[in-house]
Structure 1
Amino acid sequence: MIETIAVLVLLMLVAGTVGVTLVRQQQFYRGAGELIQARQEVRDASELMSADLRAISLEDTVRVMADSAVEFYSTIAASVLCAALGDFEIGLPATGGPRGNTLTSFATEPDTGDLALVFRDTADSLTGSRWDRYRIASFSMRADGAACPAASPFAVPVPGAFSLALRTPLRAEPRAGTPIRFLRRSRYSLYRSSDGLWYLGYRRCGAVAGAACGAIQPLSGPYRPYSSDPAATGILFQYFNSSGSPLSLGNSSASLARVSVTARALSAQRLRSGNAVRTFGDSSFVTVSIRNRTP
């Protein structure tokens, strides 16, 4: 009887030790997963914002400069003029060529809510070269070859040229090979979702001033909640001029030379570290200089 009791006690001790070890291992892996998730979130914010901010220039007006939001015209596509099809229509070459040369490329296909910028080279010493802005009336693929005739030096022997229709007539007759850029008005902001957590969100806005923005869509997160304290908020945008001095929020974007983005994320649960239980987090910082700017 005594031997049986001793064996049962030993089994209970072994089972308890194994159970404690398994619980601690589970806590470790859960904590590691939470930390990896927090690091991934701040990395996502840095990569998303730096990619779009690098694509803007002084020509692409920054419309909103706030500590938790920024709105600007981002480049979504680029091409060259294959043929002018009229005062309101332009033909663009297909996206691919037999030699791998790309004359038309899309991050996303333009539509009627976007802007087309057509380069105008002029010898006028007062105005110089410029990008003329046009609202897009329609954008479609033309498989019949009419959008980019074979006689054009920029035609490629593959189907799928594009027709770009404008809402207003061309201000000057462009030549074949004229660069064309496509812009989309976008707003990024830190916002509180219906689940009570804070995310980096994206809203697509109408091209013209005063046009409304669409519903916000989450891009990454969750992050720390918004705070007026720059050292505590989840997503922080900071703006600087060419001398490195901070710009006040709402200042003219003509002075903008650099944008810094800070992202801070916390683990979703409180985790044990030694004898303490606390919330872990991570942060990232990236700064992006505006292209085509001279001091």
Structure 2
Amino acid sequence: MTAPWRSLFDGASLDGWFPAPRSYGSVYPGGPSVLGSGLGFPADYNERAEEHPAVWSVEDGAIVGRQDPEAPGWGGYLVSEESFGDFELELEMRPDWPADTGVMIRRARDTWEGLQILVDHRRSGSIGGVYGNGIGGFHGVPFAVDALLDDAGRPVGLQEQDPAESVEPITEAKRAMLTRAGDAGEFLAAWRWRGWNSLRIVCEGTPPHVTTWVNGVMVAEIDCASFAYPGYDAEKVWSTLGPRGHIAFEVHDNDPGMGEERWGRGAVCRWRDIRIRER
């Protein structure tokens, strides 16, 4: 039986949510640590990140996330107090450019493991694709985006990025993870630059079957029980995470790979009209 829609944000406070510092754990359950994987992170990253968590506030009826303005470069999460199993989630989002953010679902409460619906509003980003935080590091994405520039070099919209120029190339293997892959042209026609955009997520089952839509355009569908990816073991992952998890919003750090191309100085992400219907 499907429950009625209910709001997860009262428009005025962060009641029902708590902040958590960004941290890195293992690449997959029982696997090596991200911090020891040669990506350039300092060994004491988690301790330093805890000192400079993301800043979360409510402004003009929206949740706003930003890096610590006094010590930018670090990130964090805003996590729901409640956990959820099968659900339909709808919200509106308005990220700056560049801002690498996302919506985590089936997230562990106190670690970084879970699924992330990507809202990578930056070069080589995916919006609506799926990433496995601490459960294999997989990217199930149909296309990548970049900024469309005017004659003065200022970003004025989105365009599909040439896979040959992408920092995170879109490969057939990434598209093959998806049971349905959205069309870049339909997505771009629907995206509202500098405006509010809707995100809809349906999550069902364990391992979950997840489908995403942006402004009514289907972007990605993935069956976490059936795809193959190095290091991803569906049975181990979902027996560890279980049938329920938390929802979380992300402020990314400026990692050694992309720096301020991942999160621009002073950039923010915004979320509003957050509602859920459990199934």
TM range (shorter): under 0.3
Q: Structure 1 length as normaliser, TM-score? A: 0.22
Which entry has the higher C-alpha Rg, 1 or 2? 1
The structure whose residues are more often helix, as a share, is: 1
- Structure number with higher relative contact order (C-alpha < 8 Å, ≥ 6 residues apart): 2
The structure whose residues are more often strand, as a share, is: 2
